[in-house]
Structures are given as C-alpha cells and as structure tokens.
Chains A and B, each alone.
Chain A
C-alpha cells in the first residue's frame, strides 16, 4: 500500500489519467476536424514539405494568412514534427494540443507547490488542483481539438512557474520564463493582451526583487523585446487590426445611438453630454462583457454556447466545484500572501482580452483562467477539510459520502455524455463528412473532367488540400484564389475541383462532371453514386455523376 502514499506515484497517476482523457479515441471524438484545425494541419504540412505556407510565404513568423484570418504561428510550427511522424491525419493535427494539455495538468502540480511553498498542505493543494484540471470539462474539451488557446495556456502556466522558481532561486531561469510568455503571446490572439498585462503585474508585485537584481531584469527585457520584433513589424500593417475590428465591441453602433438618444432627451445639455458620453456607455458595455465570464449558467450549467467548446449541458466547471471555490476565495483572502495576490491578479486579468469581443462568454478566449479556478478550488478543499475536522464522526462520513457520490456521478455523466453522445449529436458542427466526401472523389476523379463541389458547408478547398493527394505546389500553380473586401481568401478552383455556390454551370457543357453537395443541390438527372451521412442520420453529402 505504501506505493499509493508515494507522492511521485500519485502525480504520475493523475498525469496518466490526464493523458488518457486527452488522447483516448482522439481521432473520432470530436468526430471530425473543423476548418481551423484542417487549415493549421495543412499549413504545417506545407511548411514541412516546402518551407513555405499555403500562400507561398517562406516561414512566416508573425502570422499565417490561412483563410485571411491571420492565424498565430506557434501551433502550426509545433505541429510540424507530428505531421512528419503521423502524416496528414487528425491524430497528428490534434497531438500538440492534447500533449501540452496533459503537460499543463502536470505543470499545475508544480506551480501549486511553488505558489504555496510555505503552506504545510502544499502537496495536497498541488495534487488536488492538478486532479481537478485532469477531469475538467473545460480543459478536456479544449485539449482534444487543435486549439491554439490550449497551447498558449500551457506556455502561460510554464511561464508563471519558471518566473516564481527563478525569483526564489535568484537565477537566470527568468529568461526561459520570458521566452515561454512570448511563445504564449505568439500562440493565441487573446494572449497578446493578457500576457503583457499579466507580466507587468508580476514584475510590479516583485519590484523589490528586481531593484536588487537589475541585471536579470534588463537581460530578460531585452530578450522579450527581440522576440517581439516580428510582431512589432506586423503591427504596422493594416491587416493586423482587421480581425480585431471584426469582433470587438467598440464598433457597436447601437451604443452610439443610445448615447445620442439619451443626450437628445436631456435637451443636449452639457452635463448630459458628459454623463451619456459614448465612452461611459462603452465602459459599461465592457463591464457587462467582463461579467459575462462569471455568469453562473455559463460556468456551471451550459458552458460556452458554441457546441465546439461545450456539450451544452455541462458547464465549464462542475457544480460541485462551486462550494470549493467559495471556501477557496475565503481562505485566500484570509491568508494575504504574495501568492494569493498572484492568483487573484491572474484570475481578474484572465477575461480582460475576451471581454473586448462581442461573443461573450467565450471558453477559448478565456482559457487564460486555467488553472486559477482549479487552484482556488484546491485551496478551498483544504479549507473545507480542516473545517470538517470539527464535525462529529457521523456528520463527517455523511458529508464525505454525499460529496463522493455527487462528484463521482457528475464526472461520470460528463465523460459518458462526451465520449458516447457528443459526436453523434454535434457532428454537423464539426464539418463532418468532408473527409469521407474528399476520399471518395479522390478515388473517382480520374474518370471525370471537373469536380463541382458545394461551398455551402464553407471552405471546402482546405479539406481537398488536406485529404487529397495534392502537393503544395499544385495548389500554388493550378488554382484560382480571389480575395474578398474583408481580406478573406476565396478559393474557387484547385486542379479539377471547382467550388461553387450553384453546382450547375454553363461551362460544363460536354464535360463529365462529378457533383458533390447537399441532397437538394444535386442537379436533376445526375446519377447518385454515394451518400454520406452525419452521425445523427441526417444527410451530409450526396455524390453524383453527370451522365
């Protein structure tokens, strides 16, 4: 039995659990790759084979153009070795996220021990926090998809851990910490706001240390600045603002209208121009979006409204974590140490970037919260445990049994719903069917002149590139790409594939055409060759040949 009481064994057990929950059946749950995953995968592949990205740009540093949405570069480079290892596959594309997600669980243990160095329960806080993260619905779901945010989260946690460690040891490991933070910065958009703010905060509360160790401070600042240079150049370009303008709340016309209306109702008096200033209203709107991240329905019941981030009937956190969080906050307030300040600062800064966007709350843009919730809950569990010492025996056991049943049951039901029902219910959300359709058309394409592929599911070209046996140079040389006014790339043709809104085209006269589209899009008279179904039984694609 002594092996169970061994700390290394316990940590290893939690890590293996985390790996299992993140890697098991990774190819099939979620059931298929959605656009961004495939795009990242293809760009990695392109870089691996040629050194150039999809748009024939040599080793981009600040961003990948991809769909014209300017993807952050870290994930794509991280994925290169896995594409080399496993080929163009779902497993390869999702591997970095699942791997770094699992490692985040491990890191959380070390981070907790570093944060609560003086606490006599630090071992349990670490174990409990990493266990909570291992089974977290939020983190499991984001770790099983090629989400950039999940990688950024890993580098943030690593950065904080190294930061604390370097200060304690007075060492130059701080440079590694800064590098890790910069990687987080390059990994996901939200971190471009969060990381600088959080770093300033971390430096500010340790200002005494840095005043005494100026060399470290200067050197690490230098490293940080050099690493940020590619981004600074990118920032000069107009496209850097494009994506932000598209999603941010400060372009909302309704606010301006409301401001004007209220001012007019006050007869345009000077005071009312101040009170109903649009900046005041935008400020309040920002607070509203910030508060959205603390909406109990989002946190504990429904989760993010986007089914790609959440099951829709489980929250980002388990409901049983709520009492632990309350106890945890209380305990943190009570102890008033620097570590507490770090956790609370982290916690309050976490939604700062996400709150500027229209869609709130957003599980991805606020993955910056991880692992603060788990740390707080772990502290709460310790607090609760010490409180329970005062209970009499039967009450103690009663509470433990009820708590145990509740926890087991809700974890079980989440895992069951996720691994059994999720893929079936939401295969549509995952662009299910593209892979099967492209595999089929690849087999048939030699006997047809043109493959007319529907655009109605969005961005079909990337699936053709990924699942077809096209090499990157074919795409550069033999395709038709148009850029729309919003900066998005619209691919109209790749080799034989033509991507159409309307599958029928006058150019098809005398040609043999293979149609791929929704059932109602297939032209009359075409001969149906194959049908591809969503997992819930609905029809995804019908493949038909012209006579």
Chain B
C-alpha cells in the first residue's frame, strides 16, 4: 500500500514538473519587459559581475528604476550560462523552484499534521491540488520573483516545523535563512515572512519559553540577514510608490467634501467623525477583503498576465471543498490549524497595502493554503459520518467535474494564452528586433510606445554587457535620447535621416514620411508592431 502511495506521489510530482517545463520558452509566447530585464541583468552579471548600470554585484536590481529584489537575477546566472540568453533560461529558475515547491509542499503538510490520523491524505491531496494549481502553474512559467519568494517561504516553514519536531537548533537558523532569502526574492515577503515567522514562534510558545536563548539567537540572526536591504537607499522606494497612500487625493475626496459641509453647519463633532485616518483603515480593509472576492479567485482573476484566458486562479469546482475544508479544520480541532489559518489571514496583507488590489502575484503566498483547504475538504468528507452512498456519489461527481475543470484550464492555458494575451506579453518586440538584427549601417529608431525597448534590444541582440557598461550603461536612460550601437531610444527625431528605420505599435501621425516595410501581428490577427523606413 505504502509503495503504491509513493508511486502515486511521484507521478503527481512528475506531472506537476512537466506542466511547469513543457514549452516553457514559448508559452507565454514572449518575454515581458520585467523578464527581459531580469534576463539581461543576469547575463550582465555573468559576463562582467556588474548589472546594466555598471554596479558591481548589486543587492538591489535597479532595472527600470523599480529596484527589483536581487535573488532572481543571481539564480538566473547559471541557467543563462548553460542555456544561453533565451526565454527558457530566463524562466528556468521560476519553473525549477515551482516544481521543487511541489515536493516541499508535501513535506510541509506532512510535517505540519504530524499528529493527524489522515496526515498522509492531507499531504497527498494538497500536493495534488498544488501540482495542478492554475495559480502556481501560471507563476512558475514566467520569470516572476514572487514564485521564487514562495519557494523559500514554503521551505522555511517546513524546516522550522521540522526543527520543532526534532529539537535540532540548526534547523531554526536554516529556516530563518530561507525566510531571509524569500525577502531578497520579492517585496511582499518583506512583510509576510517576518509575520509568518512570528506566527510560527507563537504556535510553539511553550517550546520557546523553555529556550529563550535560542529565540534571541534566531531573532538576531534574522535581523542581521535583513540589515543589508534595510539600510540600502532605493530598495524601499518602489515599496512606497505602489502603496495606496500614494493616491491620497482621490481617496480623501469624499471625506473632505463631507467635512466642508459639516463646517458650514458649524458641526464640530462631525468634522471629527469624518476622520481621514479612518479612510485609510477602510481602504486597507477593502483591499484586504478584495482578495476573497469569489470572482477574482474562481472566474476572472486580475491582470491578464496573472491567469489563463477565461479562468480564475483556483478551480471553480474546488470552491465547495474549500468551505468544507475550513470548517473541518476548525471543527476537528486539528493540531496546527492555527498556523494554517494564521498564514491564510496574513497572506494578503502586503498586497492589500498596495494599489490595484486584488493582485494574484502580490498575494501568491496564499499558496499552498487554498490547496490545503481543498485537501482538507476532500479528506474529511471521506472520513465523515455522512451516508457512505452520498459521499461516494459526491466524490465521483466531484472527480468528474474536477477532471473536466483541469482539462479546461490546461487547454485555455496551453492553447489560448498565446492567442488571447499576446499584447500583454509585449509580443512583436522580439520579432521586430530580430528582423533588423543584421542591420549595422542605418539607424533604428524606437518610438516611445515601445516601452522599455532598449531592454528588449539588449536582450535579443545578446549585446555585450561590457561594451554596454563602457558606453555608459543604463544611466543614460535619463537622457532625452540615447543610443545603443545604431539603435535610438527616446526623443531622437532630429537625428532621423532618410532610409533609417522606425519601429512603432501605433500609426505615425505624419504618415507620408514613413513607408511601411514589415508588419507583425498578434496571433489573433490584430496589429502588434510595424517597421517603417523614413522617406
């Protein structure tokens, strides 16, 4: 029986890995600007040890001025060395860690429910749901830092609980290291990981009350690991830009008007009642709860890059299981349910502080908890004292619908992502740049609507980073017009001469000056990008 189960587990892990690696370089069919930037910076570090700005081994990737956390780029150095500067290589770390996450999800749940009768079932089903999870598959197949962050969170949590069970102090330090790595992977974890760590400590307060010195040691170690980014300028800048507090004016419009009206009536009590701080609390609560909007989760998702066309981030058929699973975890007083719900409740906090909530990427740390609920629902329904016939009928009905749901998702993902979402993946940039790859004499002008075109140019020409840095690197992005070899970016109109090339996704206003020479369409037939020559 046991052997059989392990074979099944192996199969699930294998299938999950396949789903993360199959056609990794071509679905989604093009790299978006962040992916291109991560890839080129990794290439630059591989070749020169410096990033695109010429900064030696940076702790924060300045990129487009958004200061990305550094870990992804470093993880990508080796794959680029092995596979070259290709989309596959850029996405490799995410796909690999996404696949390894499947294993650690199993280990985590298995360890977490050590005292449970159904620990194997819980762990196995969670792994199954995680392995086929639309949410995890989506972010494992693109170079998104969040997926790497999630891996280190899962790993860290597992090691921590392992430590609790084995009483080996080294585990706690390894766990803290993993959590620190998650912080160097993605912004959300800067808030999430310390909170989760805190929750893990609270869940084992009896254990740590007897080992106060250990606790101090862990805390100090964690703090030390975080000093570099905490003391760094710029690294926190991006964080502030995306907070909803940066949109004060719109948020406070209504309340300001109400205060004015009350002032007219000399109503001083109520000018106090319309407190601006409350608006912020309210906005936070609203953004937080928006992550539980069933349409976001099961039907529509958020940004088109964050889900396959026509499906949400979780399986619709699993919705009832989630409710049932939550219920049973509380009802059965399952040990360590605290950790599960705590994790679940803090997962969207970072995302809720940002604009554009809900966000599937900023709240990726929800995983694998949703899947754990699904697994708990399935497991405990089986173990419940309901009528066997009803349970069996329900199970087959669920299985039928679930399999259909999985195929529907996989079909939408692997077939329709490329046709429906080409524009969100900046499709056409690569094609246009490759078309002019051998053009060395005439100048190539990138219109401003080709956003971050320089990064694509560097990437797809495998432009020598040492030359690029010598020429001034990306510091020149601030110039109104800057050039890389014969390519020009920004406001460069006065440098245009006859026969030069002009690349744009729009139709130029003075169209008689330009002659269309090649057109690139999205796979759904709509126009993506056009190369013109100047007449």
Contacts and interface: CB of A to CB of B under 8 A. Distances in A.
A425 B258 CA distance: 9
Interface in A421-437: 421, 424-425
Given A288-B295, A412-B273, A297 B254 contact: no
Nearest to A409: B273
Interface stretch (B411-419, B457-465, B481-489): B411-419
A420 B270 contact: yes
Contact of A262 (B294, B298, B316, B416): B416
A313 B330 contact: no
Counting chain B residues whose Cβ lies within 8 A of the other chain, the interface size class is 20 to 34
A287 interface: yes
A301 interface: yes
A417 interface: yes
Interface stretch (B205-213, B283-291, B364-372): B283-291
B286 A266 contact: no
Contact of A291 (B286, B299, B408, B415): B299
A417 B255 CA distance: 10
Contacts of A10: none
Nearest to B412: A262
A297 B258 contact: no
Nearest to A413: B273
Contact of B295 (A292, A312, A313, A333): A292
A312 B282 CA distance: 13
B293 interface: yes
Contacts of A322: 289
Contacts of A294: 293-294
Contacts of A425: 257
A284 interface: yes
Nearest to B523: A265
A300 interface: yes
Contact of A261 (B294, B295, B524): B524
Which secondary structure dominates chain B's binding surface? helix
Contacts of A292: 295
Interface string B265-304: 0010010010000000010011001101111001110000
Interface string B400-432: 000000001001000110010000000000000
A296 B310 contact: no
B439 interface: no
Specify which of B262, B286, B316 lies most central, judged by the most chain A CB atoms within 10 Å of its CB: B286
A421 B286 contact: no
B522 interface: no
A334 interface: yes
Interface string A387-431: 000000000000000000000010011001100110011000000
Which secondary structure dominates chain A's binding surface? helix
B416 A297 contact: no
Contact of A284 (B285, B293, B310): B310
A416 B275 CA distance: 14
Interface in A38-55: none
A86 interface: no
A120 to B, nearest CB: 21
B454 to A, nearest CB: 33
B261 interface: yes
Contacts of B293: 291, 294-297
B289 A296 contact: yes
A296 B290 contact: yes
A297 B270 contact: no
B411 A275 contact: yes
Nearest to A261: B524
A275 B409 CA distance: 11
Counting chain A residues whose Cβ lies within 8 A of the other chain, the interface size class is 20 to 34
Interface in A243-289: 258, 261-262, 265-266, 275, 281, 284, 287-288
B261 A421 contact: yes
A258 B300 CA distance: 15
A203 interface: no
Contact of A330 (B289, B290, B330, B524): B330
Interface in A283-317: 284, 287-288, 291-292, 294-297, 300-301, 312-313
A243 B285 CA distance: 38
B286 A296 contact: yes
A72 to B, nearest CB: 30
Contacts of B300: 288
A227 interface: no
Given A297-B289, A297-B290, A424 B282 contact: no
A347 to B, nearest CB: 13
A291 B293 CA distance: 8
Contacts of A528: none
A297 B291 CA distance: 10
B289 A300 contact: yes
Contact of A333 (B257, B290, B327): B327
B292 A301 contact: no
A291 B330 contact: no
Contacts of A291: 293-295, 298-299
Contacts of A300: 285-286, 289
Contact of A421 (B258, B282, B289, B290): B258
A475 to B, nearest CB: 40
Nearest to A322: B289
Interface string B324-337: 00010011000000
B127 to A, nearest CB: 27
Interface string B317-353: 0000000000100110000000000000000000000
Contacts of A333: 327, 331
Given A333-B327, A420-B270, A265 B290 contact: no
B294 A265 contact: no
A173 interface: no
Nearest to A262: B416
B292 A296 contact: yes
A116 B492 CA distance: 77
A229 B256 CA distance: 55
Contacts of B289: 296-297, 300-301, 322
Contacts of A275: 408, 411
A301 B284 CA distance: 11
Contacts of A384: none
B254 A424 contact: no
Contacts of B294: 291, 294-295
A287 B408 CA distance: 16
Contacts of B416: 262, 265
Nearest to A265: B419
A319 interface: yes
B258 A301 contact: no
A534 to B, nearest CB: 14
A281 B311 CA distance: 11
B53 to A, nearest CB: 41
A425 B255 CA distance: 12
Interface string A113-149: 0000000000000000000000000000000000000
The 7 closest A-B pairs by CB, nearest first: A296-B289, A291-B294, A301-B286, A288-B299, A291-B295, A333-B327, A265-B419
12 contacts: A265-B416, A265-B419, A284-B310, A287-B298, A291-B299, A294-B294, A296-B290, A297-B289, A412-B273, A413-B273, A420-B261, A420-B262
Interface of A: 258, 261-262, 265-266, 275, 281, 284, 287-288, 291-292, 294-297, 300-301, 312-313, 319, 322, 330, 333-334, 409, 412-413, 416-417, 420-421, 424-425
Given A291-B299, A421-B261, 13 more contacts: A262-B310, A265-B416, A281-B310, A284-B310, A295-B293, A296-B290, A300-B286, A319-B285, A330-B327, A330-B330, A409-B273, A421-B258, A424-B261
